[in-house]
Chains A and B, each alone.
Chain A
Amino acid sequence: MTFLGMPLLRSKHTDVNDLPGGQGNIVEDESFATVSHKHLSNQQLRNNIGHATSTIRDKRSGVVAELDDWEELREAGSRAKNQVMANLPEYLEEFEANFTAAGGIIHWARDADEANAIVTELVEANAPVLETGRREVIKVKSMATQEIGLNEHLETQGIDAFETDLAELIVQLGDDKPSHILVPAIHRNRDEIRQIFMDKMPDAGELTNDPAVLAEAARRHLREKFLTTKVAVSGANFGIADTGTLGVVESEGNGRMCLTLPETLITVMGIEKLLPSFSDLEVFLQLLPRSSTGERMNPYTSFWTGKTPGDGPQNVHLVILDNGRTRALADEHGRTALNCIRCSACMNVCPVYERTGGHAYGSTYPGPIGAILSPLLTGVETEENGSLPYASSLCGACYDVCPVKINIPEILVHLRNEDVEANHSPVSSQLDTALTGASWMMGDGKRMAAAEKGLPLAHAVSGGKSMNSLPGIAGAWTSSRDIPGLPEKSFRQLWAEDEDRDEDRDENGEDET
Chain B
Amino acid sequence: MKIALFATCIVDGMYPEVAQATVTILRRLGHEVTFPSGQACCGQMHINSGKFEQAEPVINNHVRAFTSTEWDVAVAPSASCVASLGHQQPMVARRMGNEALATAAADVAGRTYELSQLLTDVLGVTDAAADLGSYFPHSVTYHPSCHGMRLLRLGDRQSDLIRSVEDIEFIELPLADACCGFGGTFSVKNPEVSSAMLADKARTIQATGAEVCTGGDASCLLHIGGGLSRFQRTGRFEGTPDVTAVHVKETSATDIGGDHTEHLTAVVGADDDDHLTAGEHGTSPAEPSQMQSGLRVGASTVHLARILASTKEDPLRVQSEGATVSGGSLR
Contacts and interface: CB of A to CB of B under 8 A. Distances in A.
Contact of B286 (A43, A190, A400, A431): A43
Interface string A90-123: 0000000000000000000000000000000000
Contacts of A309: none
B274 interface: yes
Nearest to B59: A443
A76 B131 CA distance: 44
A223 interface: no
Interface string B122-154: 000000000000000000000000110111000
Interface residues of A, number: 94
Given A43-B286, A419-B50, A513 B150 contact: no
B230 A480 contact: yes
Contact of B243 (A46, A419, A442): A46
Contacts, number: 312
A443 B61 contact: yes
Given A47-B278, A397-B179, A476-B191, A491 B16 contact: yes
B244 A480 contact: no
B186 A413 contact: no
B326 A484 contact: yes
Interface string B144-167: 001101110000000000000000
A332 B138 CA distance: 51
A394 B9 CA distance: 20
A404 interface: no
A511 B326 CA distance: 26
A452 B37 CA distance: 13
Q: Which of B36, B57, B193, B240 has the most CB of A within 10 A?
A: B193
B268 interface: yes
Nearest to A380: B50
B23 interface: yes
A491 B20 CA distance: 7
B21 A455 contact: no
B243 A491 contact: no
A420 interface: yes
A447 B9 CA distance: 13
A254 to B, nearest CB: 22
Interface in B220-256: 222-223, 225-227, 229-230, 233, 237-241, 243-246
B268 A54 contact: yes
Given A438-B46, A452-B12, A480 B240 contact: yes
Nearest to B21: A513
Contact of B179 (A393, A436, A473, A483): A393
Main secondary structure of the interface of B (DSSP, over half): helix
Interface in B240-280: 240-241, 243-246, 268-272, 274-276, 278-279
A467 B91 contact: no
Interface stretch (B196-204, B205-213, B291-299): B196-204
B178 interface: yes
Interface in A486-512: 486-487, 489-492, 494-496, 510-511
A457 interface: no
Contacts of B276: 190-191, 209
Q: Which of A44, A354, A444, A479 has the most CB of B within 10 A?
A: A44
Contacts of B12: 448, 452, 490-492
Interface residues of B, number: 109
B215 to A, nearest CB: 14
Contact of A400 (B60, B150, B197): B150
Interface string B49-86: 11110110110110001000000000000000000000
Contacts of B27: 510-511
A431 B191 CA distance: 13
A447 B189 CA distance: 27
A392 B278 contact: no
Contacts of B309: 513
B193 A40 contact: yes
Given A416-B50, A435-B49, A494-B20, A391 B193 contact: yes
A33 B192 contact: yes
Contacts of A351: 178-179, 181, 197
Contacts of A355: 193, 196-197
A466 B23 contact: no
Q: Which of B13, B17, B190, B240 has the most CB of A within 10 A?
A: B190
B61 A445 contact: yes
Contact of A435 (B46, B230, B243): B46
B51 A435 contact: yes
Contacts of A491: 7, 11-12, 16, 19-20, 35
A393 B192 contact: no
B100 interface: no
B178 to A, nearest CB: 6
B223 to A, nearest CB: 6
Interface string B85-104: 00110010001000000000
B222 A436 contact: no
Given A391-B193, A395-B183, A484-B222, A41 B286 contact: no
Contacts of B290: none
A155 interface: no
Interface in B1-59: 7, 9, 11-17, 19-21, 23-24, 27-28, 35-41, 43, 45-52, 54-55, 57-58
Contact of B246 (A50, A191, A392): A50
A63 interface: no
23 contacts: A43-B278, A43-B284, A51-B245, A52-B269, A333-B95, A393-B186, A395-B146, A395-B179, A396-B146, A399-B150, A410-B91, A431-B188, A438-B46, A442-B57, A480-B227, A481-B198, A483-B226, A484-B331, A491-B7, A491-B19, A491-B20, A492-B7, A513-B23
The 9 closest A-B pairs by CB, nearest first: A44-B282, A51-B269, A393-B183, A50-B269, A416-B50, A480-B239, A481-B226, A50-B245, A443-B57
Given A42-B283, A480-B226, A513-B309, 15 more contacts: A32-B190, A40-B196, A44-B279, A390-B189, A392-B183, A393-B181, A415-B50, A443-B57, A443-B58, A448-B41, A479-B238, A487-B17, A489-B16, A510-B24, A511-B24
